[in-house]
Structure 1
Amino acid sequence: MQLLDLFDSEDPRERDFLKTTLHRIYGKFLGLRAYIRKQINNIFYRFIYETEHHNGIAELLEILGSIINGFALPLKEEHKIFLLKVLLPLHKVKSLSVYHPQLAYCVVQFLEKDSTLTEPVVMALLKYWPKTHSPKEVMFLNELEEILDVIEPSEFVKVMEPLFRQLAKCVSSPHFQVAERALYYWNNEYIMSLISDNAAKILPIMFPALYRNSKTHWNKTIHGLIYNALKLFMEMNQKLFDDCTQQFRAEKNKEKAKSKEREEAWIKIENLAKSNPQLQRDQRKERPLVRRKSELPQDIYTVKALESHRRAEDMLTTHDGH
């Protein structure tokens, strides 16, 4: 336990030696393995839910990466709980950037061991997805691509709709690095094969964001990446692409018609208000505007002091007065 407490040291050299020492102890003493894992869990729980500060999280995750790699199949329930209750909540901590590569490695290791964990993992990532922290969003996109690299097609089908709804938001992000990182997914051959097999579901989700931002996004690099994504979709399924284009235009026309209806309704309301006889009578009446004088609160002691006050020059006698 004291050995694990030392991982909070501010000296990276000490933490590096501790990492090697703990890893060897874990390898040699089989009876201590469950205890070591439990104590590491407790450190993570304190870090996530209490302190949000610990210097050795990256090193502990590095040790866990090699431990997870050695887990026997099928995975024990205890290990699945560790993934869902400990590793995934680590994504919501502010200092994620300090240990994110090690955390992403651990998550991907779990998915390579058991593909049925893909859905809860992806849904948890979407739940913890940052709303206003763009660098953190780029980290999430990096990790998500690593997950998609090892995902089974049968598991991809379960998560693709919420996943691509989030990607559509990322493509629309005014922060160009977020939009750029999301659009790099279209350069990944395996992801493109998954998209191609499920284009009928994915293209209708992505098309509005891609089409709109191809014209409105402020960054020229993003324009090029969007045109590339649209071109790939077009080559994938020309008919589906044309259908999505028609549907997008029809919805845009509907929006314009609704907007026009609203404007006309407001004009009618304004005209009715202007033609109201009561309003016309009120307008004819000339109401003199009365301005109220502001009054200071009365205080008898202040009033007396002001009345008895004499200016300094009144009390001084000048040479002329002698």
Structure 2
Amino acid sequence: MSAISASEKVDGFTRKSVRKAVRQRVCQSSSQFAANSSRPATPEISALPQLKDASSTEQHELFMQKLHQCCVMFDFYDTVTDLKSKETKRATLSELVDYVSTNRGVLVEPVYPEITTMVSTNIFRTLPPSENPDFDPEEDEPTLEASWPHMQLVYEFFLRFLENPDFQPNTAKRYIDQKFVLQLLQLFDSEDPREREFLKTVLHRIYGKFLGLRACVRKQINNIFLRYIYETEHFNGVAELLEILGSIINGFALPLKAEHKQFLMKILIPLHTAKGLALFHAQLAYCVVQFIEKDPTLTEVVVRGLLKFWPKTCSQKEVMFLGEIEEILDVIEPTQFKKIQEPLFKQISKCVASPHFQVAERALYFWNNEYILSLIEENNAKILPIMFGNLYRISKEHWNPEKKKEQEREELWRKLDELRLQERIAIQNNRHDIQFTFNNNNNNLQDKNENTAAAVTDRIESDSWAK
């Protein structure tokens, strides 16, 4: 281990930055830890004839040879050896991508196992633990895959293979099976965001084409999330997996199966407790809203679940929760709103009174949403008593004197005053209507009594004259 200078001992930040710089220089590949001088020498590969130059009878055999050639792996940690062979493999992979993309009739049954073997050899590997145990995806640079010049082409080739019009899922399912899917999902923990983006597209294609693997994919994703929530608290590909699930949820048939509802309540809602929520909250909120749009009766359990896990000490998370609540309220049905309005606005009232100005500001933004405002107007008799105390207090005592906040509060008070005025006018109108109806009834009754009395008097007088 290198000696630490006196300045580094005094300045801990300098020492940390030096270690980080050394780590970034050394860590060039996510596939291996260090150079292994005792590894066997990689066989040199030579360029084969171009597929476009071969006759139609020779193309199939040449295609198979090139697939075999691309199974040879190179050490990209060593940047000076095997340069010619590395370039030959890169050119061959690029040629295979073009060949599968532009030619029809090349996906005959014998090539399926060769293609899956080549893809598996190149992309499936054991991912090492992060070189930085304190890795923060928002602050630190990820460790990139040094062999990406080859791996990118392998992923592109596999995608062209899956998207080829001649692709036969019934033939491919013997090779792209549950074991293949499990290994694919494990790669989502790669630190390289470029690889995770390709994996997302590949898994989406597999889910769409292999109906028999859909339940397996959902189950394995569930397992990854459960381990992430309750055990490891670390997985790099949560956002990408949630993005895939957003598309899957959108395609769920109605009525929703109990399995899908359980996934919502047992996995998606507890995911809100993760300390890395900021990295995938947008995708998570989208999945939750998709469920509510599919089945509005889930609104109450979702909102109560969010209130149960509402952050107490992290203002950043609290702002995210408020944003998600607004997304839910944008699609909520009025009947469902009545079920959750009281507990929800008790929490919103606390947020409005928060000493953290961003939390208070985000809660006040609810009154800028026309649909939410209409829901509040319809239920102001319940909501106004909950909100009034804290709204009044922050209008007088909040520490942040920014003019924008004052204007927002004034606008909010104006809208609340309008609501109270409308309510008073409605009550007064009702009273006037009742009084008017009562007076009319009394007048009618009085006229009726007077007419009856006059008629009796006239009859008596007539009888008297007759006598």
TM-score (norm 1): 0.74
Give the SS at the match of 1:129: coil
1:273-308 C-alpha deviation (Å, 9 max, x unpaired): xxxxxxxxxxxxxxxxxxxxxxxxxxxxxxxxxxxx
Identify which of 89, 97, 118 aligns with 2:270: 89
Between the aligned partners of 1:55 and 1:240, the Cα distance in structure 2 is 53
Shift of 1:230: 1.5
Corresponding letter in the other structure for 2:415: L
Find 2:331's aligned residue among 130, 150, 157.
150
Aligned to 1:270: none
What is the Cα-based RMSD across aligned positions, in Å?
A: 1.3
Deviations 1:210-253 (A, max 9, x none): 011100001133332222112101112227689xxxxxxxxxxx
Distance 1:226 1:92 in 2: 31
- Output aligned runs, 1:179-218, within 5 Å: 179-218=360-399
Q: Which amino acid aligns with 1:70?
A: G
Where does 1:199-278 land on structure 2 (aligned, <5 Å)?
199-220=380-401, 221-238=404-421
Q: Name the aligned partner's letter for residue 54 of structure 1.
A: F
Cα distance in 1 for partners of 2:424, 2:315 equals 31
Instruction: Give the match for residue 351 of structure 2.
Output: 170
Gaps of 5+ in 1: 243-322
- Identity in percent: 70
State how 1:1-322 maps to structure 2 within 5 Å.
1-220=182-401, 221-238=404-421
* Aligned AA (1:146): E
Separation in 2, partners of 1:5, 1:233: 53
Runs of 4+ in 1 over 6 A off after TM superposition: none
Q: Secondary structure at the match of 2:310?
A: coil
Q: Compare CA radii of gyration and give the structure with the larger one.
A: 2
Using a 3 Å threshold, how does the CA distance of structure 1 residues 88 and 231 change in structure 2: closer, same or farther?
A: same
* Alignment deviations for residues 54-109 of structure 1 (CA, whole Å, 9 cap, x no partner): 00000000000000011111111110000000000000011100000000000000
| Rounded Cα–Cα distance in structure 2 between residues aligned with 1:40 and 1:239 | 52
Q: Which has the higher helix share?
A: 1
Task: Give the secondary structure class of the aligned counterpart of 1:237.
Answer: helix
Shift of 1:137: 0.5
Work out the CA distance in 1 between the residues paired with 2:372 and 2:409: 16
Change (3 A) 1:240 1:207: farther
Q: CA separation in 2, counterparts of 1:87 and 1:143?
A: 13
Q: Hey, what's the Cα distance between the residues in 2 that align with 1:231 and 1:131? A: 31
Q: CA deviation at 1:26?
A: 0.2
Question: Contact 1:9/1:55 (CA < 8 Å) preserved in 2?
Answer: yes
Distance in 2, matches of 1:22 and 1:208, equals: 52
The one-letter code sitting in structure 1 at the alignment partner of 2:197 is D
Report the CA distance between 1:31 and its aligned residue: 0.6
Q: For residue 341 of structure 2, what is the amino acid of its counterpart?
A: M
> Partners in 2 of 1:176 and 1:223 — Cα distance?
12
C-alpha contact 1:138 1:181 (8 A) present in aligned 2: yes
Q: Which amino acid is 1:186 matched to?
A: W
Query: What per-residue deviation string (whole Å, max 9, x for no partner) do you get for residues 147-196 of structure 1?
Result: 00000000000000010000110010111110000000000000000000
The amino acid of 2:287's aligned partner reads C
In the alignment, the residues of structure 2 paired with residue 240 and residue 169 of structure 1 have an alpha-carbon distance, to the nearest angstrom, of: 25
Cα gap change, 1:204 to 1:240, in 2 (>3 Å): farther
Structure 2: distance between partners of 1:175 and 1:224: 18
Could you list the runs of 5+ residues in structure 2 that have no partner in the other structure?
1-181, 426-467
